[in-house]
Amino acid sequence: MTISRRTILGGGLAAPATLRLAALGGAATGGALLSSPARAAQDAHRLTLGATELIVLTDGGLSLPASTLAGNVEEAERSAFLAAGGFDTAMRDSALNITLIRSGDALVLVDTGAGMNFFESAGLLADSFDVAGLDREAVTHVVLTHAHPDHVWGIIDDFDEAERFPNAGYLIGAREWDFWMDPDFLVNNPEELHSFGLGAQRNLGAVAEKVTRVGADHSVVPGVTMIATPGHTPGHMSVLVEDGGEQVLVLGDALTHPTISFERPDWQPTSDQVPEQAIATRRALLDRAATDRLMLIGYHLPWPGVGRVEAKDAAWRYVPAG
Protein backbone atom coordinates (compact mmCIF):
# COMPACT_ATOMS: atom_id res chain seq x y z
CA MET A 1 0.00 0.00 0.00
CA THR A 2 1.15 3.47 -0.77
CA ILE A 3 1.74 5.55 2.29
CA SER A 4 0.36 8.99 1.63
CA ARG A 5 0.00 11.82 4.04
CA ARG A 6 -3.71 11.08 4.11
CA THR A 7 -3.03 7.47 5.09
CA ILE A 8 -0.78 8.60 7.85
CA LEU A 9 -3.25 11.15 9.05
CA GLY A 10 -6.04 8.64 8.82
CA GLY A 11 -3.95 6.14 10.73
CA GLY A 12 -2.96 8.73 13.24
CA LEU A 13 -6.59 9.32 13.93
CA ALA A 14 -7.63 5.72 13.71
CA ALA A 15 -8.29 5.66 17.38
CA PRO A 16 -10.21 8.78 16.74
CA ALA A 17 -13.39 8.24 18.63
CA THR A 18 -11.68 7.84 21.95
CA LEU A 19 -8.89 10.23 21.22
CA ARG A 20 -11.08 13.07 20.06
CA LEU A 21 -13.66 12.35 22.64
CA ALA A 22 -11.15 12.34 25.42
CA ALA A 23 -10.19 15.84 24.43
CA LEU A 24 -13.81 16.85 24.65
CA GLY A 25 -13.92 15.32 28.08
CA GLY A 26 -16.53 12.69 27.41
CA ALA A 27 -16.57 9.03 28.20
CA ALA A 28 -15.18 6.80 25.46
CA THR A 29 -18.12 5.45 23.56
CA GLY A 30 -16.18 4.24 20.54
CA GLY A 31 -18.18 4.00 17.37
CA ALA A 32 -21.12 5.98 18.62
CA LEU A 33 -19.28 9.15 17.75
CA LEU A 34 -18.52 8.16 14.20
CA SER A 35 -22.05 7.07 13.47
CA SER A 36 -23.37 10.59 13.83
CA PRO A 37 -25.87 11.34 11.10
CA ALA A 38 -24.50 12.29 7.72
CA ARG A 39 -25.80 15.61 6.52
CA ALA A 40 -25.73 17.28 3.17
CA ALA A 41 -24.69 20.72 2.15
CA GLN A 42 -27.70 22.98 1.96
CA ASP A 43 -28.43 26.44 0.74
CA ALA A 44 -27.23 29.33 2.82
CA HIS A 45 -29.29 31.31 5.30
CA ARG A 46 -28.95 35.00 4.50
CA LEU A 47 -29.71 38.14 6.49
CA THR A 48 -28.94 41.77 5.92
CA LEU A 49 -27.83 44.44 8.31
CA GLY A 50 -27.85 47.85 6.63
CA ALA A 51 -25.54 47.44 3.64
CA THR A 52 -23.87 44.36 5.14
CA GLU A 53 -24.91 40.85 4.19
CA LEU A 54 -24.48 37.89 6.54
CA ILE A 55 -24.52 34.44 5.00
CA VAL A 56 -24.70 31.36 7.23
CA LEU A 57 -23.29 28.18 5.68
CA THR A 58 -23.30 24.68 7.11
CA ASP A 59 -20.21 22.54 7.63
CA GLY A 60 -22.41 19.59 8.62
CA GLY A 61 -22.84 18.55 12.21
CA LEU A 62 -21.42 16.66 15.16
CA SER A 63 -22.96 14.22 17.57
CA LEU A 64 -21.39 13.96 21.02
CA PRO A 65 -22.33 12.30 24.29
CA ALA A 66 -24.71 14.45 26.30
CA SER A 67 -22.23 14.21 29.17
CA THR A 68 -20.07 16.76 27.30
CA LEU A 69 -22.75 19.39 27.90
CA ALA A 70 -22.13 19.73 31.61
CA GLY A 71 -19.16 18.18 33.35
CA ASN A 72 -20.03 19.68 36.73
CA VAL A 73 -23.60 18.38 36.97
CA GLU A 74 -24.92 14.99 38.02
CA GLU A 75 -26.20 12.82 35.20
CA ALA A 76 -29.71 12.64 36.68
CA GLU A 77 -30.05 16.40 36.85
CA ARG A 78 -28.65 16.86 33.35
CA SER A 79 -30.90 14.17 31.87
CA ALA A 80 -34.01 15.53 33.56
CA PHE A 81 -33.30 19.01 32.23
CA LEU A 82 -32.64 17.73 28.69
CA ALA A 83 -35.72 15.50 28.69
CA ALA A 84 -37.92 18.38 29.87
CA GLY A 85 -36.73 20.36 26.85
CA GLY A 86 -37.42 17.49 24.46
CA PHE A 87 -33.75 16.61 23.93
CA ASP A 88 -32.15 13.19 23.74
CA THR A 89 -30.45 12.39 27.03
CA ALA A 90 -27.65 10.18 25.66
CA MET A 91 -26.28 12.07 22.67
CA ARG A 92 -26.44 15.70 21.68
CA ASP A 93 -26.43 16.86 18.09
CA SER A 94 -24.51 20.00 17.38
CA ALA A 95 -24.76 22.12 14.25
CA LEU A 96 -21.76 23.70 12.53
CA ASN A 97 -22.96 27.13 11.38
CA ILE A 98 -20.31 29.20 9.64
CA THR A 99 -20.85 32.91 9.06
CA LEU A 100 -19.65 34.80 6.01
CA ILE A 101 -19.85 38.60 6.15
CA ARG A 102 -19.99 40.67 2.97
CA SER A 103 -19.10 44.27 3.80
CA GLY A 104 -18.09 46.58 0.95
CA ASP A 105 -15.34 44.82 -0.99
CA ALA A 106 -14.52 42.51 1.92
CA LEU A 107 -15.74 38.95 2.30
CA VAL A 108 -14.99 37.87 5.87
CA LEU A 109 -15.31 34.20 6.83
CA VAL A 110 -15.62 33.41 10.54
CA ASP A 111 -13.96 30.02 11.09
CA THR A 112 -13.19 27.36 8.49
CA GLY A 113 -15.07 24.27 9.64
CA ALA A 114 -13.67 20.89 10.56
CA GLY A 115 -12.14 19.72 7.29
CA MET A 116 -12.18 16.04 6.45
CA ASN A 117 -10.34 14.51 9.41
CA PHE A 118 -12.46 15.27 12.45
CA PHE A 119 -15.94 13.86 11.95
CA GLU A 120 -17.48 11.95 9.08
CA SER A 121 -20.55 14.18 9.28
CA ALA A 122 -18.55 17.43 9.09
CA GLY A 123 -16.38 19.05 6.46
CA LEU A 124 -19.16 20.23 4.15
CA LEU A 125 -18.17 23.91 4.00
CA ALA A 126 -16.62 23.75 0.53
CA ASP A 127 -19.78 22.07 -0.79
CA SER A 128 -21.89 24.71 0.93
CA PHE A 129 -19.96 27.47 -0.86
CA ASP A 130 -20.76 25.74 -4.16
CA VAL A 131 -24.43 25.21 -3.34
CA ALA A 132 -24.78 28.89 -2.41
CA GLY A 133 -23.02 30.02 -5.58
CA LEU A 134 -20.11 31.47 -3.62
CA ASP A 135 -16.42 31.39 -4.51
CA ARG A 136 -13.92 30.40 -1.81
CA GLU A 137 -11.21 32.31 -3.67
CA ALA A 138 -13.20 35.51 -3.12
CA VAL A 139 -12.79 35.32 0.69
CA THR A 140 -10.57 38.23 1.72
CA HIS A 141 -10.32 37.62 5.48
CA VAL A 142 -10.66 34.56 7.68
CA VAL A 143 -11.32 35.36 11.34
CA LEU A 144 -10.68 32.45 13.68
CA THR A 145 -12.67 32.52 16.92
CA HIS A 146 -10.45 29.80 18.37
CA ALA A 147 -8.34 26.85 17.28
CA HIS A 148 -10.45 23.79 18.13
CA PRO A 149 -10.68 21.19 15.33
CA ASP A 150 -14.18 22.07 14.17
CA HIS A 151 -13.06 25.68 13.62
CA VAL A 152 -9.57 25.44 12.09
CA TRP A 153 -9.05 21.99 10.60
CA GLY A 154 -10.74 23.28 7.45
CA ILE A 155 -7.91 25.75 6.73
CA ILE A 156 -6.11 23.28 4.48
CA ASP A 157 -7.33 20.45 2.34
CA ASP A 158 -5.40 17.51 3.70
CA PHE A 159 -5.50 15.61 0.45
CA ASP A 160 -3.29 17.99 -1.46
CA GLU A 161 -2.42 20.35 1.35
CA ALA A 162 -3.90 23.25 -0.61
CA GLU A 163 -5.34 26.18 1.24
CA ARG A 164 -9.10 26.27 0.98
CA PHE A 165 -9.17 30.09 1.06
CA PRO A 166 -6.02 30.91 -0.89
CA ASN A 167 -6.53 34.67 -1.17
CA ALA A 168 -7.45 35.37 2.45
CA GLY A 169 -5.48 36.88 5.29
CA TYR A 170 -6.07 35.28 8.69
CA LEU A 171 -6.84 36.91 12.03
CA ILE A 172 -6.74 35.20 15.41
CA GLY A 173 -6.44 36.37 19.00
CA ALA A 174 -2.78 36.65 20.00
CA ARG A 175 -3.45 34.71 23.19
CA GLU A 176 -5.09 31.90 21.20
CA TRP A 177 -2.25 31.67 18.70
CA ASP A 178 0.37 31.63 21.42
CA PHE A 179 -1.42 28.88 23.34
CA TRP A 180 -1.74 26.45 20.43
CA MET A 181 1.51 27.30 18.60
CA ASP A 182 3.65 26.82 21.70
CA PRO A 183 6.69 24.82 20.49
CA ASP A 184 6.44 22.90 23.75
CA PHE A 185 2.70 22.32 23.45
CA LEU A 186 2.95 18.57 24.00
CA VAL A 187 5.04 19.06 27.12
CA ASN A 188 2.93 21.84 28.54
CA ASN A 189 -0.51 20.32 27.97
CA PRO A 190 -2.30 17.13 28.97
CA GLU A 191 -2.38 14.23 26.57
CA GLU A 192 -6.08 14.62 25.81
CA LEU A 193 -5.30 17.94 24.12
CA HIS A 194 -2.45 16.59 22.00
CA SER A 195 -4.45 15.66 18.90
CA PHE A 196 -6.13 19.07 19.00
CA GLY A 197 -2.76 20.75 19.36
CA LEU A 198 -1.14 18.86 16.51
CA GLY A 199 -4.11 19.60 14.24
CA ALA A 200 -4.07 23.28 15.17
CA GLN A 201 -0.33 23.50 14.50
CA ARG A 202 -0.66 21.73 11.15
CA ASN A 203 -3.46 24.01 9.94
CA LEU A 204 -2.35 27.30 11.47
CA GLY A 205 1.25 26.55 10.57
CA ALA A 206 0.29 26.17 6.89
CA VAL A 207 -0.85 29.79 6.74
CA ALA A 208 1.46 31.23 9.39
CA GLU A 209 2.83 33.92 7.09
CA LYS A 210 -0.68 35.19 6.41
CA VAL A 211 -1.75 35.33 10.06
CA THR A 212 -2.19 38.52 12.06
CA ARG A 213 -2.31 38.02 15.83
CA VAL A 214 -4.70 40.57 17.28
CA GLY A 215 -5.81 41.97 20.61
CA ALA A 216 -9.31 42.76 21.88
CA ASP A 217 -11.52 45.13 19.90
CA HIS A 218 -9.57 44.66 16.70
CA SER A 219 -11.32 46.15 13.68
CA VAL A 220 -11.21 43.66 10.78
CA VAL A 221 -12.94 46.06 8.38
CA PRO A 222 -15.22 48.97 9.31
CA GLY A 223 -18.21 47.53 11.17
CA VAL A 224 -16.60 44.14 11.86
CA THR A 225 -14.81 43.93 15.23
CA MET A 226 -13.20 41.03 17.09
CA ILE A 227 -14.08 41.10 20.79
CA ALA A 228 -12.50 39.07 23.58
CA THR A 229 -14.76 36.28 24.89
CA PRO A 230 -12.24 34.00 26.65
CA GLY A 231 -12.87 30.81 28.57
CA HIS A 232 -13.97 28.25 26.03
CA THR A 233 -10.32 28.50 25.04
CA PRO A 234 -7.71 30.86 26.49
CA GLY A 235 -7.91 33.35 23.63
CA HIS A 236 -11.42 32.81 22.30
CA MET A 237 -12.88 35.79 20.42
CA SER A 238 -16.28 36.63 18.95
CA VAL A 239 -17.13 38.94 16.07
CA LEU A 240 -19.42 41.96 16.38
CA VAL A 241 -20.98 43.17 13.13
CA GLU A 242 -22.56 46.62 13.10
CA ASP A 243 -24.40 48.42 10.32
CA GLY A 244 -27.48 50.58 9.96
CA GLY A 245 -27.77 51.01 13.72
CA GLU A 246 -28.08 47.26 14.27
CA GLN A 247 -25.66 44.69 15.68
CA VAL A 248 -25.11 40.97 15.20
CA LEU A 249 -22.71 39.03 17.39
CA VAL A 250 -21.09 35.97 15.82
CA LEU A 251 -20.48 33.96 18.98
CA GLY A 252 -18.07 31.21 18.12
CA ASP A 253 -18.38 28.76 21.03
CA ALA A 254 -19.19 31.21 23.82
CA LEU A 255 -22.78 29.87 23.81
CA THR A 256 -23.23 26.41 22.33
CA HIS A 257 -26.53 24.84 23.40
CA PRO A 258 -30.01 26.34 22.93
CA THR A 259 -31.17 25.67 26.49
CA ILE A 260 -28.16 24.82 28.69
CA SER A 261 -25.99 27.78 27.65
CA PHE A 262 -28.85 30.23 28.23
CA GLU A 263 -30.89 28.78 31.08
CA ARG A 264 -28.06 27.06 32.97
CA PRO A 265 -25.04 29.28 32.18
CA ASP A 266 -23.08 27.90 35.13
CA TRP A 267 -23.10 24.36 33.79
CA GLN A 268 -19.66 23.69 32.35
CA PRO A 269 -19.33 22.08 28.92
CA THR A 270 -16.37 19.73 29.07
CA SER A 271 -14.87 21.47 26.04
CA ASP A 272 -14.50 24.74 27.96
CA GLN A 273 -10.78 24.87 28.74
CA VAL A 274 -10.98 27.63 31.35
CA PRO A 275 -14.40 26.85 32.85
CA GLU A 276 -14.78 29.64 35.40
CA GLN A 277 -13.75 32.24 32.85
CA ALA A 278 -16.14 30.73 30.33
CA ILE A 279 -19.01 31.10 32.81
CA ALA A 280 -18.16 34.75 33.45
CA THR A 281 -17.96 35.40 29.71
CA ARG A 282 -21.26 33.61 29.11
CA ARG A 283 -23.07 35.62 31.76
CA ALA A 284 -21.66 38.93 30.51
CA LEU A 285 -22.61 38.10 26.92
CA LEU A 286 -26.12 36.99 27.86
CA ASP A 287 -26.69 40.13 29.89
CA ARG A 288 -25.43 42.35 27.07
CA ALA A 289 -27.37 40.47 24.40
CA ALA A 290 -30.63 40.67 26.34
CA THR A 291 -30.19 44.33 27.29
CA ASP A 292 -29.14 45.49 23.82
CA ARG A 293 -31.50 43.12 21.93
CA LEU A 294 -28.46 41.82 20.06
CA MET A 295 -28.96 39.33 17.28
CA LEU A 296 -26.71 36.30 17.80
CA ILE A 297 -25.30 33.69 15.45
CA GLY A 298 -24.17 30.57 17.30
CA TYR A 299 -21.77 28.14 15.65
CA HIS A 300 -23.30 25.14 17.39
CA LEU A 301 -26.87 26.32 17.94
CA PRO A 302 -29.53 24.55 15.85
CA TRP A 303 -29.30 25.56 12.17
CA PRO A 304 -28.95 28.35 11.22
CA GLY A 305 -28.14 29.40 14.77
CA VAL A 306 -29.65 32.88 14.48
CA GLY A 307 -31.64 34.28 17.38
CA ARG A 308 -31.91 36.63 20.31
CA VAL A 309 -31.80 36.43 24.10
CA GLU A 310 -34.48 37.28 26.63
CA ALA A 311 -34.18 37.43 30.39
CA LYS A 312 -36.04 34.55 32.02
CA ASP A 313 -36.37 34.02 35.77
CA ALA A 314 -32.84 34.34 37.17
CA ALA A 315 -31.24 33.45 33.83
CA TRP A 316 -32.00 33.80 30.12
CA ARG A 317 -33.79 32.16 27.23
CA TYR A 318 -32.81 31.63 23.58
CA VAL A 319 -35.34 32.87 21.05
CA PRO A 320 -34.55 31.57 17.55
CA ALA A 321 -35.21 34.09 14.80
CA GLY A 322 -38.19 33.75 12.59
Q: Could you list the residues that contact Zn ion (CB under 5 A)?
A: 150, 253
| Closest to 98 in 3D by CA, of 247, 220, 253 | 253
Nearer to Zn ion by Cβ, of 87 and 118: the residue is: 118
- Shortest gap between Cβ of 151 and Zn ion (angstroms)? 6
- Shortest gap between Cβ of 146 and Zn ion (angstroms)? 8
CB atoms within 10 A of CB 211: 17
- Shortest gap between Cβ of 174 and Zn ion (angstroms)? 20
**Alpha-carbon gap, residue 73 to 41, rounded angstroms:** 35
Amino acid at the residue 146: H
- Shortest gap between Cβ of 141 and Zn ion (angstroms)? 20
Give me the sign of the Cα torsion angle 39, 40, 41, 43: negative
- Shortest gap between Cβ of 3 and Zn ion (angstroms)? 31
Q: What is the DSSP string of 204-217?
A: HHHTGGGEEEE-TT
Nearer to Zn ion by Cβ, of 36 and 140: the residue is: 36
Nearer to Zn ion by Cβ, of 110 and 295: the residue is: 110
SS3 46: strand
Going from the C-alpha of 108 to that of each of 57, 58, 105, 188, the distances in angstroms are 13, 16, 10, 33
Distance of CA 208 to the CA centre of its chain: 20
| Closest to 322 in 3D by CA, of 303, 307, 302 | 307
- Shortest gap between Cβ of 113 and Zn ion (angstroms)? 10
**Alpha-carbon gap, residue 234 to 228, rounded angstroms:** 10
Nearer to Zn ion by Cβ, of 95 and 295: the residue is: 95
**Alpha-carbon gap, residue 158 to 10, rounded angstroms:** 10
Nearer to Zn ion by Cβ, of 150 and 158: the residue is: 150
